[in-house]
């Protein structure tokens, strides 16, 4: 079915870092060559449009009955699975030492000396977003995340069918900086797991490559296990009026009228941490701008 909806003031697009660029491109807004390739007539050409992606945790309940039981328990006494975030309540953010060989070789992409390069999240269980869960055994997971990646991915339309998922390539670990930081992150995780405090608790690695001692060995481990943990953003980023972004400082779509983007896609930079608080900030800013624009 096709529904036609008319707006009298403006359209607020909040479809998320994947849905927003997909809807814009399906509407003829984006790179003209990309749109024409899938049979869409370009209306607004944004030749410099690029899509970036980063990774943070995205736990999800998959069973309706389990969720109902957890909700009942939490509402009754504040305990159970919903009393925690589902993965880890223990996280650590690390900055490479200022004399690190990585910082000597590459430009530091962080915002300053107080900003981290990578994160560890600790889960009392087998955490994965891509691997098959073991059917037996007890596990402790250290999730390593590059929070200031320099790799840049992209989103394009697979076709002009709005019900077909877009093509997404995050291009993870495609820069030497990202590879080097992840190697340091894995080494730090190895040191943490080898601490005396874990004697008798951690008995050994899930796979031998976890204990790789050379950079090449760690790279091989990364090639097998590195994956997104599903927090994309910067896919329709804002910039100055004459900049290369998709939206301006008022979150309005450039080269068009009456479309405002309010979600993680407009992030101009990759935040060195989980994006939740920054999404709140964007929403609060958008509310103030909209109220001021329409004298509400």
| CATH code of the domain containing 192 | 3.30.560.10
Whether pLDDT at 29 is above 80: yes
Rounded Cα gap, residues 240 and 249, in angstroms:
6
Higher pLDDT, 275 or 81: 275
Q: Which structure tokens are listed for 273? A: 């941490």
Q: Are residues 274 and 180 in the same domain?
A: no
Work out the end-to-end distance of the chain between its first and last CA atoms, rounded to an integer number of angstroms. 34
pLDDT of residue 1: 61
Note the helical H segments in 29-131.
32-37, 64-77, 101-105
CB atoms under 10 Å from CB of 87, counted, come to 19
The arithmetic mean of pLDDT across residues 99-108, rounded, is 95
Out of 206, 225, 244, pick the residue that ends a domain: 225
Phi-psi region at 121: left, alpha or beta (left = phi > 0; alpha = psi -120 to 50): beta
When mean pLDDT is compared across 27-36, 76-85, 112-121, 272-281, the lowest value belongs to 76-85
Whether pLDDT at 78 is above 50: yes
Whether pLDDT at 69 is above 90: no
Whether pLDDT at 153 is above 90: no
When mean pLDDT is compared across 17-31, 39-53, 98-112, the lowest value belongs to 39-53
Q: Are residues 219 and 240 in the same domain?
A: no
Q: Are residues 109 and 18 in the same domain?
A: no
* 3-class secondary structure, 143: strand
The arithmetic mean of pLDDT across residues 106-123, rounded, is 92
Whether pLDDT at 63 is above 50: no
Whether pLDDT at 262 is above 90: yes
Rounded Cα gap, residues 44 and 226, in angstroms:
36
Query: What confidence tier does 260 reach under pLDDT thresholds 50, 70, 90?
Result: very high
pLDDT of residue 58: 30
Q: Are residues 110 and 208 in the same domain?
A: yes
Q: Are residues 211 and 263 in the same domain?
A: no
Query: What confidence tier does 136 reach under pLDDT thresholds 50, 70, 90?
Result: confident
pLDDT of residue 88: 66
- Number of domains the chain contains: 2
Show the domain range for 68: 64-225
Q: 123: part of which helix (H) or strand (E)?
A: strand 118-123
Q: Are residues 102 and 221 in the same domain?
A: yes
């Amino acid at each position: 079915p096709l529904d036609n909806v008319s707006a009298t003031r403006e359209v607020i697009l909040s479809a998320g870092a994947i849905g927003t660029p997909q809807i814009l491109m399906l509407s003829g807004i984006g790179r003209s060559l990309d749109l024409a390739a899938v049979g869409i007539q370009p209306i607004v050409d944004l030749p410099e449009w690029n899509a970036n992606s980063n990774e943070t945790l995205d736990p999800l309940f998959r069973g309706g009955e389990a969720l109902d039981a957890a909700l009942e328990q939490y509402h009754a006494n504040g305990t159970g699975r919903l009393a925690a975030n589902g993965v880890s309540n223990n996280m650590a953010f690390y900055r490479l030492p200022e004399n690190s060989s990585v910082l000597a070789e590459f430009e530091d992409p962080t915002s300053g000396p107080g900003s981290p390069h990578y994160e560890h999240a600790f889960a009392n269980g087998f955490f994965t977003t891509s691997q098959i869960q073991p059917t037996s055994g007890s596990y402790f997971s250290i999730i390593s995340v590059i929070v200031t990646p320099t790799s840049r991915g992209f989103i394009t339309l697979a076709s002009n069918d709005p019900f077909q998922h877009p093509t997404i390539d995050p291009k993870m670990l495609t820069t030497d900086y990202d590879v080097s930081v992840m190697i340091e992150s894995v080494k730090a995780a190895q040191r943490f797991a080898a601490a005396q405090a874990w004697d008798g608790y951690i008995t050994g690695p899930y796979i031998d490559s976890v204990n790789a001692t050379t950079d090449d060995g760690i790279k091989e481990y990364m090639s097998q296990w590195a994956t997104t943990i599903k927090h994309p953003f910067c896919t329709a980023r804002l910039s100055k009026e004459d900049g290369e972004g998709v939206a301006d400082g008022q979150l309005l779509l450039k080269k068009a009228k009456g479309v405002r983007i309010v979600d993680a896609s407009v992030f101009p930079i990759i935040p060195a941490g989980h994006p939740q608080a920054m999404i709140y900030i964007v929403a609060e800013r958008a509310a103030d701008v909209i109220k001021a624009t329409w004298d509400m």
